Structure 1
C-alpha cells in the first residue's frame, strides 16, 4: 500500500480518536447543568447529548472549512500528514491530562495548539492572521459575551418570575432545561464534531485525496458525528462534577439561563462567522455570569480562577506537546 495512503488512514484514525476524547471530555458542556439540577437523569442526558452531537455535526460545514484551510499551510504528501498526526497526538495527550484533573479546558484549543506546535516544528506555515481572527479573538470575546449575557438573562428571569412560587418555578424550569440542554448538545456538535471533520479534510487534502472547495464527503460527517456521540455517551464524569457542582450551586432557573445563553452564542458563531469557538469557554463563562447575580460569594472564584488558568495554558502546552511528538514522528517520512 502507498505510504501516503497509509499515513492518511492513520491520521484519520487519530482524528477520530481525538473526536472520541473530545466527546467524553466535553460532554459536560451540554448536560452538566441539567444533571446537577436533576432536570435529567445522567444517562438520559448523555444519550440526548450524543444524539444532539450527531445531528449537529451535519450543520457545522462552515466551521469545518475554517479548520481545514484557514489556520495552517502544510506541504503535500507524507511530510504534511506526519505534522497533522503529531498535532493530533499533542491534543489527545492534553485532553487526557486535563480530564484526569477534572479541568474543563477547551478540546478545541488543545487541537489548535497541537496543530500549531507540530506545524512550527515541521517547518511549515502557520497562518497567524487566521489564528488571530478565528481563534484568539473569539477566545477573548465569547467568554465575555457568555458572562455578560448570562448575568443579564438571569436578572431577566428573576424579574419576570419574581412573584412565582419557588417549587412550581423549579418544576417548570426543569422541563425547560430539557429543551435548553438539547439546544446546547446540537451547538456542541456544530462546533466540536465539525472540528474533527475539518482535520480529516485537511489530512485528505494534504494527502491528495480531496480538492479544496469540493463538498465534504458524507462518510466524514458520519464518522466524525459517530465518534463524538460515542465519546459523549461515555461521559467525562470528573468534568461534569466540576461544571455542575463546583463553580456555583445551580438551580433549574440558573441551569436553563446558562444553557440558553451558551447555545445562542454557539449558533451565532457557527452560522454567521464559521468561527471554531470553544464550547467549554462559552458554557463555563455563562455559568459564572448566571452565578454572579447571586452576589460576590455565589461563585466559587477559586475554582473559577483555576479553570481560567487552565484555559490560558492550554494552547501553548498543547503546542509544545505537539512539537515534541513531531520530533520522533518526522523520521517516519
Structure 2
C-alpha cells in the first residue's frame, strides 16, 4: 500500500470540514422542537446532541459502504481531485442553505457533489445509476412521507389518549419524552450522516491505493469523522433550528415527542439496511406531520414550499458547482489550488454576510414566561373572564381585538 499523499491529505481535511458543516447544518434535526418548546436549554441541547452524534458514528458502517463503493464506481478511474471537487460543491451548498436558514439535505449535497464531479471528470459510466435510484432517490421521496404520516398518526393518538387530562400537566411528561426522543434522533443522525464522511474518506484512500477496494473504513477514519460532526453539532446551526422549531409550525411538547420518535425510527431502520437518506428531510416531514396531527394545528406552507424547492435543487445545484470545480481541478496542481482558493473565498463571504444578521441561542427558544402548552388567546380570555377590562380605550397589543364584549371572547376562545 502507498503512503497518504499531500492531495489525499487535502481531500481528507476537506471531507472533515464537510462533516463539520454537516454537524451544525443538521443540529436542528434532533433539537429544534426540543429547544422551541423549552424542554432543554439551547446550549445543553446541542451539547447532548454532539455527544450522541459521536457515539452513533461507531454503531454501523453500512451507509459508509454505500458511499465508498455504492453510488460511485471506485474502479472507474476516480482520482482524489474528483472527490475534492465534489466536497467543495457540497460545502458551498451547505453554507448557502445555512445562510438562508433552509434545512436542506447535507447528504444530498454530498451525493450531488460527488456525482457532478465524477460525471464531469470521468463520465456517466462511473456512476452506478441503479444504486443512486435505489439507495438515494427512492429514500429521498419515501422517507419524509413515511416519517410525516407516522408523526401525524402518533400525534393524533397522543392527543386522543390525553384528551381527558389537563394539557399543562401532561406537557411536563412530554417534555421529558422529548429529551429522550431527541437523544435517539441524535444517535440515529450519527449512525447515518457521520458515516457519509467516512465513506468519502475511504473512497479517497481507495483511489490513492492506501486501502483495498470494498474495505471498511479504518478506525481512525471512524473516530475523526465522529469528532468532526460532533464538534459541528455542538456549535449549533441556530438559523436552521429557528426555521424548524418556530418557522414551520407551532410545536407543542406532545407534538415534538411524536415527531422525534417517528423520525428516529425511520433513520435507524434506514441506517441498518444501508439507505443513505436525508435526516433533514425525515425530521422536516415528521414536524409537518406532527403540526397537522394536532386539532387546529397548521403548517406554514410558504416555508414548507421553500424547503421543498431547496430539497429539489440540492442534488443538481451541488452537482453543477462540483462539476465546474472538477473541470478546473483536472488542469493540474494550479487547478486544485484555484478550487481551494475559490472555495475558501466563497465560504468566507457567506460567513461575513451571516454576521450582518446573526441568529443566537436566545433567538430560538421562547422566553421563560411563555406558556407553550396554551395559545395566548386562551390565557387572555381566562383573565378577562375573572377581571373584565376597564371601560375606555385599550392599549394596542399583539392580540387582535375582538368586536364582541369580553364574555363573548372567552366563550369563543
The two structures have a TM-score, normalised by structure 1, of 0.96
Runs of 4+ in 1 over 6 A off after TM superposition: none
> C-alpha root-mean-square deviation of aligned residues, in Å?
1.6
Q: Is it true that 1:51 corresponds to 2:56 in the alignment?
A: no
**Residue aligning to 2:318:** 318
**Residue aligning to 1:201:** 202
- Please report how far the alpha carbon of residue 327 of structure 1 lies from its aligned counterpart in structure 2 after TM superposition: 1.7
**Residue aligning to 2:111:** 112
- Please report how far the alpha carbon of residue 294 of structure 1 lies from its aligned counterpart in structure 2 after TM superposition: 3.4
Q: Is it true that 1:103 corresponds to 2:70 in the alignment?
A: no
**Residue aligning to 2:164:** 163
Q: Which has the larger radius of gyration?
A: 2
**Residue aligning to 1:291:** 291
Moved more, 234-243 or 289-298: 289-298
The answer to whether the 8 Å contact 1:24/1:231 transfers is yes
**Residue aligning to 1:38:** 38
- Structure 2: stretches of 5+ with no match in the other structure: 334-413
- Please report how far the alpha carbon of residue 114 of structure 1 lies from its aligned counterpart in structure 2 after TM superposition: 0.5
The answer to whether the 8 Å contact 1:67/1:199 transfers is yes
Structure with bigger RCO (C-alpha 8 Å, 6+ apart) = 1
- Please report how far the alpha carbon of residue 323 of structure 1 lies from its aligned counterpart in structure 2 after TM superposition: 0.3
- Please report how far the alpha carbon of residue 159 of structure 1 lies from its aligned counterpart in structure 2 after TM superposition: 1.2
Counterparts of 1:81 and 1:3 in 2: how far apart (Å)?
14
**Residue aligning to 2:130:** 129
Q: Is it true that 1:302 corresponds to 2:302 in the alignment?
A: yes
**Residue aligning to 1:90:** 89
- Please report how far the alpha carbon of residue 167 of structure 1 lies from its aligned counterpart in structure 2 after TM superposition: 1.2
Cα-to-partner distance string for 1:270-327 (whole Å, 9 max, x where unaligned): 11x2110000000000000111123686111111111111101110000001001112
- Please report how far the alpha carbon of residue 3 of structure 1 lies from its aligned counterpart in structure 2 after TM superposition: 10
**Residue aligning to 1:237:** 238
- Structure 1: stretches of 5+ with no match in the other structure: none
- Please report how far the alpha carbon of residue 62 of structure 1 lies from its aligned counterpart in structure 2 after TM superposition: 0.4
- Please report how far the alpha carbon of residue 4 of structure 1 lies from its aligned counterpart in structure 2 after TM superposition: 6.8
The answer to whether the 8 Å contact 2:4/2:210 transfers is no
How many residue pairs are counted as aligned between the two chains?
Answer: 330
- Please report how far the alpha carbon of residue 110 of structure 1 lies from its aligned counterpart in structure 2 after TM superposition: 0.2
The answer to whether the 8 Å contact 1:76/1:207 transfers is no
Cα-to-partner distance string for 1:223-266 (whole Å, 9 max, x where unaligned): 00000000000111110000000011111111110000000000
More helix by share: 1
